[in-house]
Amino acid sequence: MPIDPNFETNRERVGEENGVTVWGPVDPPEQLGIHGTHVAVDYDICIADGACLEDCPVDVFTWVDTPGHPESEIKVEPTREDQCIDCMLCVDVCPVDAIDVDPGRAGRT
């Protein structure tokens, strides 16, 4: 199941990690929620293949450790989502549809 494009409405903002908004539910290490707002990554389905990180022309993503998560023990975090140019490459290359970019959410990180 892909990331919920309406997560801002359907999920609760539960805090921040590394300056990035986190949307719940969160129950580590199995359930890590969605990280980011303008550029959002569903950590619960991300398999960390790195395609988004490699293809992003403005280096929005960085690796973070997620030890014990059943899908992967690292994830890509939209650390610099404010730099996103809305090219949608990350959305296009994600094999599990774990990323959503919404220009309408820009500036609401």
Residues contributing to the annotated binding site? 35, 46, 52, 56, 84, 87, 90, 94
Residue 96 in contact with residue 45, Cβ under 8 Å? yes
Annotated binding site for [4Fe-4S] cluster: 56, 84, 87, 90
Annotated binding site for [3Fe-4S] cluster: 46, 52, 94
Residue 102 to residue 49: CA distance in whole angstroms: 22
Longest dimension (CA), the chain: 34
The DSSP letter of residue 71 is S
Annotated binding site for Zn(2+): 35
Write the CA distances from 104 to 43, 79, 83, 89, integer angstroms: 22, 18, 14, 17
